């Protein structure tokens, strides 16, 4: 049973981007290219895209007649080719090394192939329980992903600690009934059970 700040939890449920690794520069580069192709306000999109499935962001900003699935596929292909500057959050390798396979899961809004590429880029192993964009019908802030991960681990979501960095992800973790550790500056500390900058 993993322990965080002297409190035991049934499992740790990690978001990926912004939580296990920093892919912000790559994400922003690709989204800005996409926005330029379609005449969309990149700053407005980037302000709300973190932690949300790419397809859901495309749908939110789609211009009339846009093929959402095709555009999401273009974005995914572009992100697969751009891992420049993707780095691990300090201390995450040491933390993961202390966890048994049944102690943790990843719940990400990224497609599976992109998540695998980014985790490989930072040398982090794939967990046995790995929930990606394809595994849910509703993305964050819906709690479906965290509930599914807890179910696959055989634990109650209310007994888990979620690590998240985005407003959508924090909302999803809280809606699942889990404790939430906020990683980084995107969400106010008081929105979570804990607030950390990294895992050192």
Catalytic residue among 6, 15, 103, 165: 15
- Residues 55 and 123: their CA atoms lie apart, in Å, by 27
Identify the band that residue 198 occupies on the pLDDT scale cut at 50, 70 and 90.
very high
pLDDT for the residue numbered 27: 92
What distance in Å separates the CA atoms of residue 58 and residue 66, rounded to the nearest whole number? 9
The overall average pLDDT reported for the chain is: 96
- Could you tell me what percent of the chain has a pLDDT over 90? 98
- Taking residues 16-28, what's their average pLDDT? 94
Same CATH fold, 24-80 and 3-23+86-196? no
Measuring CA to CA, which residue among 100, 92, 80, 101 is closest to residue 123? 92
pLDDT of residue 59: 96
Q: Hey, where are the domains in the chain?
A: 3-23+86-196, 24-80
Concerning whether 198 is annotated as a catalytic residue, the answer is no
Is 159 a catalytic site residue? Answer: no
Per-residue pLDDT averaged across 184-190, rounded? 93
> What's the rounded mean pLDDT across residues 136-149?
97
Mean pLDDT of 128-149: 97
CATH class of 24-80: mainly alpha
| pLDDT computed for residue 46 by the predictor | 94
51 pLDDT band (50/70/90 cuts)? confident
Given 17, 56, 103, 165, the catalytic residue: 17
- pLDDT of 180: 98
Q: What kind of architecture, by CATH, is found in domain 3-23+86-196?
A: 3-Layer(aba) Sandwich (3.40)
Is the pLDDT at 86 greater than 90? The verdict is yes
Residues sharing a CB contact under 8 Å with residue 106, sequence separation 6 or more, in sequence order: 13, 14, 15, 16, 20, 115, 119, 126, 127, 129, 130, 131, 149
- Per-residue confidence (pLDDT) for residue 18, from 0 to 100: 95
50 pLDDT band, cuts 50/70/90, is confident
């Amino acid at each position: 049973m993993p322990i965080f700040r002297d409190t035991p939890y049934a499992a740790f449920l990690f978001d990926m981007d912004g939580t296990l690794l920093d892919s912000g520069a790559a994400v922003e580069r690709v989204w800005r290219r996409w926005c330029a192709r379609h005449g969309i306000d990149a700053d407005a999109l980037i302000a709300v895209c973190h932690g949300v499935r790419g397809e859901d962001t495309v749908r939110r900003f789609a211009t009339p007649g846009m093929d959402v699935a095709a555009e999401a596929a273009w974005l995914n292909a572009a992100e697969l080719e751009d891992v420049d500057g993707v780095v691990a959050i300090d201390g995450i390798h040491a933390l993961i090394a202390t966890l048994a396979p049944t102690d943790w899961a990843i719940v990400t809004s990224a497609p599976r192939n992109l998540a695998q590429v980014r985790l490989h880029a930072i040398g982090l192993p794939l967990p046995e329980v790995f929930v990606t964009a394809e595994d849910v019908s509703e993305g964050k802030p819906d709690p479906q992903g965290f509930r599914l991960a807890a179910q696959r681990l055989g634990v109650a979501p209310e007994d888990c600690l979620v690590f998240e960095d985005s407003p959508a992800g924090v909302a999803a973790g809280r809606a699942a009934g889990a404790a939430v550790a906020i990683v980084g500056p995107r969400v106010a500390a008081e929105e979570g059970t804990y607030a950390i900058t990294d895992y050192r």
